[in-house]
Structure 1
C-alpha cells in the first residue's frame, strides 16, 4: 500500500523535474499547500496559475502536472487511494484568505510530519485519522468558496478526454481513436485542449505515456521488450525510438541514470 508522505515543495519537485512537469496520472490523493511563490498547474485538462496561500488537491486517477516558479515554498501531502475517500472527488485550487484556516492547514500537515518522523505505535491509525481531518478541512474550505461558474462545453469535452486518457495510458489508442469515442473530430479536440489545457490532446497523451515509461524504467527491472508490450508499442525498437525522441536518450541510459539517482537518495514515487 502506498504510504502517507509529507515533504516540502523543494523536496517534492527537486532533482527530477519530469516527475512533476510531465502530465501524468495521480495514483493516490495529493495536496499541495503553497505558502510562498507561484507557478502553473495542469489539473485534468485545465491550466491554472497558483500563488501564495493556495491549496491544490489532485484526486486519484486524475491527470496533472506542475511548474513551480523560483523560490516557491510549501508542503506536499500524498495519501493512498484507500484514505482518499475523505477528500473531494474533483480537483481543487482554493485561495485560503483567512489566517485561521491557513494556520489550521499548516498545523494539520505538521502533525502528520511529526507522526511520520517519530514512528510511534499505531502510526498508520494516526495517519488515517489525520488524513480524514485533512479531507474535512478541504471540504469545509470548498463550502466557504464562491460557487464556481458552470463549465463551458469545451471544458466538459476536455475533461471527458482526460478521463479517457487517464484510463488508457499504454493502451495503444491514439488521439484520433479517443476523439472518435468522444464523437468529435481530432481537429476540434486538438483546438479545445489547446484553449483549456494550454497543450494539445496529442501532447497530453504523449506526456502521460513518456511519464509512465520513465517510471517503469526507474522502478522495475523488466526488459525493454516487456515494457514496450505493456505500454502498447508494436516493438521494442519503436519503444526505443519513442524514448529517444522525447527524452533525448535511450531507455538503457534512462534506467542507468535512475539507478545512479536512487543511490544518492532520489526516489521516483507514483
Structure 2
C-alpha cells in the first residue's frame, strides 16, 4: 500500500482503549505464567472495553449469559461457552444476572511456546471468538473439570507441577480447537512451517504497521524471499501479505474511531498517512464507509440483549 511520506503534524492527545496489565486478582506466585480464577457474581457485572498487552485469556462461562463488546461489535453469549481473547484484543463484558465463570490467564511468551506445539493452536488464537459448549451436557462438564484440574496444578508445589500445568493447558486448548470448527478453509493444506511463518509475520505487522514498510522489508526481517512470504500467506490464510497489513491498519483505525476522541485527520497521521484524504479513500475502499460515517454508525449501534432460545 502506498502511503505518503510523513510530514510534521501537531501531536494529538490520544484517548483510546485502556491497557490492563492484570485482569484477575494478584497471583500468589511472583513469576506466574498461568493463572486460574473463579468468579461468581450476584446481579449484573460489567467491564468497559479494554485490552491486555501481555497475556491471552480463556473465560469459561459455566452458567449465565451476557453480551461481549468485541472490537465495537456486540456478541451475545450464554453458558456453557468459552470466550477466547487473544493478546491486545479489545473487548468489554456485560454479564447478566448470576454468572458463574472461570478465567484462565496465560502469559504471552508462554502462550507462544504452547501454541508452537500444534498449528491449529496458532489458528485458534489468530482471532477472538465465542465457542459454544452447549451442544451436550458432557462438553461443559468436561471443560469445567479440565479447568478445575488446571487450577489445582497451577497452585501446586508438587514435583512436576510445571509439566502438569502444560499438559492440562494443552488439553484445554485442544478441546477448544475441536469444538471451534475453524472455518479458515485455507488451513487444510498449510504446512506447519507456513503457519509459523504467518504467525511471525502477524507479529511483525503488529510492531511495524504504522511505519509504511515495504513487503521486502518484512521478508528481510523474516529472512525469507517475497515468493516464500506470499506462498505461506496464501497457504495458511488465503490472503496476500498486503491484505494482511491492510487488515491490521483497518483494525487499529476502527478502534480509534470507536473508542477514541481523535479527529479523522489525527487518526490518519497516527497510522502513518500524511494525507487524511488518502486515508479516507483507503478506509472507504476496505470498509465500505467513510471513517466519519463508520464512527457515527458504530457509536449509535444498539446494545443487543441475549434472547433465550
TM-score (norm 1): 0.52
Q: Which residue of 2 aligns with 1:60?
A: 87
Question: How far, CA to CA, are the matches of 1:87 and 1:177 in structure 2?
Answer: 25
Q: Which residue of 1 aligns with 2:197?
A: 157
Which of the two has greater helix per residue?
1
Change (3 A) 1:195 1:258: same
Matched, 1:251 2:294: no
Q: Which residue of 1 aligns with 2:56?
A: 29
Give the Å deviation of 1:143: 5.7
Give the Å deviation of 1:210: 0.7
Q: Which residue of 1 aligns with 2:246?
A: 206
Give the Å deviation of 1:216: 0.5
Contact 1:29/1:78 (8 A) holds in 2? no
Determine which structure has greater relative contact order: mean sequence separation of CA pairs < 8 Å that are 6+ residues apart, divided by chain length. 2
Q: Which residue of 1 aligns with 2:271?
A: 231
Change (3 A) 1:223 1:86: closer
Matches within 5 A, 1:8-47: 27=53, 28-31=55-58
Structure 2: runs of 5 or more not aligned:
1-18, 25-38, 40-50, 63-79, 90-99, 116-120, 126-132, 156-163, 175-190, 305-309
Change (3 A) 1:100 1:249: closer
After the TM superposition, which segments of 4 or more aligned residues of structure 1 sit over 6 Å from their partners?
A: 32-35, 53-56, 75-79
Matched, 1:188 2:216: no
TM-score (norm 2): 0.47
Matches within 5 A, 1:77-116: 83-85=105-107, 88-90=110-112, 91=115, 92=121, 102-103=140-141, 105-106=143-144
* Root mean square deviation, CA, Å: 4.7
For residues 88-134 of structure 1, the C-alpha deviation after alignment (integer angstroms, 9 at most, x for no partner) is 5134359x9xx87841534799x9xxxxxxxxxxxxxxxxx99x78x
Change (3 A) 1:215 1:248: same
Aligned positions, number? 187
Matched, 1:265 2:300: no
Question: How far, CA to CA, are the matches of 1:86 and 1:193 in structure 2?
Answer: 23
Question: How far, CA to CA, are the matches of 1:178 and 1:249 in structure 2?
Answer: 29
Higher Cα radius of gyration: 2
For residues 130-170 of structure 1, the C-alpha deviation after alignment (integer angstroms, 9 at most, x for no partner) is 9x78xx9785141696xxxxx74333322321221122232
Change (3 A) 1:249 1:84: same
Q: Which residue of 2 aligns with 1:167?
A: 207
Question: How far, CA to CA, are the matches of 2:239 and 2:229 in structure 1?
Answer: 11
